[in-house]
Each structure stands twice: as structure tokens, then as C-alpha cells.
Amino acid sequence: MRVLIVKLSSLGDVVHTMPVVHDMRRAHPDALIDWVVEPGFAPLVRRVRGIHGSIECALRRWRKRWWTSAVRTEWHDFREAIGGERYDAIIDFQGLTKSALVARLARGPRFGLANQTEGASHEWPARWLVDHPIEVEARIHALDRARVLAATALGYVVQGPPVFGLRPHALHTTERTMVFVHGTSRDDKLWPEAHWIDLGRRVMAEGWRIALPHAGAVERARAERIAAALAPAAEVWPALSLDALADRMSATHGAVGVDSGLSHIAVALDLPHVQIYNFPTSWRTGPLASHGHAYQVSVEGTPTPGVDTVWAAWNQVWAQSREAVRG
């Protein structure tokens, strides 16, 4: 069986789709699974156990320079790559017009979402651009939505907790290190810098070091301000690709982060983790006990969770992770 996953972006959505690869291979052990994805996320997708190949689709960049010869060449190469094999199933997990049109460039029966789920993006033309639109429960976690869609398309039953299958390259950190995932693409998801500094001082008092990843100039400047306030126990990481970030994160001992793609990577890596939400939306994107996340929790607050709340949650997940190790 050959299966094509179409999930172009964003980072969090890509991570939430990863468990379908394990599910498919459990039901069809010999399946060859390819994934169409934006180039920035491709190195991470290639780290997922069971992925046969990735097909890079740079729609975001192509739209900005569609008239250039370089883009026309890349588009031609992409058409050749996506049309090179016939698939037994092409599954559009994104539910947008652009993703459904990408799916139509591949050869084989196409499956996709027939309806919008609560809080998720969906465009009505997408259901008419696939051969087999599939209705899913309206109120459902993003991860479960992907698993149910794949299972319905390929005729199996979802079993057990999600397995992300993300394989980092082994690194080693001797000192206890916590990652502060402070950056996000939306300002209304940010946690105040003063809160990060307060939390950092509490973490440092327990003998931890703090790592500060970043993406772009704004996040780097914030990371440097937090690190300066917490010196010398805080380190600003250099700019890294997503696969290199996953490697570094996997060598740490835990993470606290806002609702962002990097926090979802922390979940996929099975790190002790607290995820911070300024809105009551953790039910659809955050770690859940029903997914087997015994030492990963979400905390919500209006306008934002307090430091005491996050600190208490961290102490809880850290204690649970230590019990799991001893067990």
C-alpha cells in the first residue's frame, strides 16, 4: 500500500498529524507513506519513524515570486515528484482549498475532511475537491481528528494512545536543563517576560539551568533579555533548524512553554512539560491524560496563568516523571 499525507503546515498541526504514521503502519505494516509538507518542516517530518519520503511544497514562497523562472522550475519539479507514483490513498489532513488542490495533483483516490471542527480552519471547497469527504466529530482534539480521518480512510480502528515516532539524534546533557518555550507566532499567546523571569528564578533555586530557543529577531531579543535577568544559569541557543532543535530539546529534562509548535514538539519528545494557555482552548491542542501524557499538562488563565499556577503544575509533572522512571 502507498499512502500520501498532505499536511503542509503549520508546525503544531504537523506535529499533531505525526501519530497517524504509526497508526497506518500498525494496520498496514508494509505501507509506504510519503508526506507533502512545506520545506521548513520537512527535516522534522523525515525524522518520523515509518515515513518513506517527503515531498517539499513551498507554496508560501512560490506565491510571493510566482512569475520568476526559478519558481516555475521548482513548480515543475514538484509536479513531477507528486505525480511520480500512484497512491492507494491520498489524505488531505489540512482541509483547506490549497491543500485539497495539492492533493489533486497526486494520482489516486483522495480523502479529506467533510466538515469544520470547533476552533479549526476549514474551507468548504476542500470537501468537494476530494473524492471521499469524511465527517468527523465537531468537538475533537486536533490529534484525534487526524487519527480518526486516517483510520476511516484506510479502514482500521484507532487503538491506544498516540505514538509520535519522532526520532531525535542522541545528544547528552549532564546538567538538569529546562527549556523555556517563550516564542509564538501570535502575540496574544505570549506569557509576560516578568513571569518568565520569576519562574526562572524559582527553577534556578532548585539547581536547574535554563535554555532559551528562538526564531527570528523579536524572539531572540526576548530570549536575551530573559537570559540577562537570569545569568549565569540561562543560555540563549543559536538559531537552529527544527530537526536540530528537536535534537537539543530531547537532551534536556523538561520544558515549560506557551501554545506553540515547539511546545508540541516537547510533547512529541515525551518531555515533562507544562503548556501555557491564555484561552480555554487546551482541550483541542494541548496534552491530555487520555492521550497517555502522564507528566504533561496544560494550564489556562485569564488574561494569562499566574506564575504560582505554572510553578505548581511543573512540580506536579516533574514528580510524576520521576515516579515513572522509578517504576
Per-residue pLDDT of the chain (327 residues; tens, 9 = 90+): 999 999 999 999 999 999 999 999 999 999 999 999 999 999 999 999 999 999 999 998 998 888 899 999 999 999 999 999 999 999 999 999 999 999 999 999 999 999 999 999 999 999 999 999 999 999 999 999 999 999 999 999 999 999 999 999 877 777 899 999 999 999 999 999 999 999 999 999 999 999 999 999 999 999 999 999 999 999 999 999 999 999 999 999 999 999 999 999 999 999 999 999 999 999 999 999 999 988 999 999 999 999 999 999 999 999 999 888 776
* Residue 140: CB atoms within 10 Å: 18
Taking CA atoms, 157 is separated from 4, 7, 24, 30, 153, in Å, by: 19, 21, 10, 17, 10
Q: What is the pLDDT of residue 156?
A: 98
Record the cell numbers describing residue 12, joined without a space. Answer: 503544531
Cell of 112: 479529506
∠ CA 231-233-236, nearest 5°, is 80
- Per-residue confidence (pLDDT) for residue 326, from 0 to 100: 75
DSSP 291-318: GT-TTEEEEE-SSS--HHHHHHHHHHHH
pLDDT at 219 (0 to 100) = 98
CA distance linking residue 190 with residue 179, whole number of Å: 16
pLDDT given at position 172: 73
Q: Amino acid letter at 122?
A: H
Instruction: Say which residues have a Cβ less than 8 Å from residue 151's Cβ, sequence separation at least 6.
Output: 23, 27, 157, 158
pLDDT of amino acid 294:
85
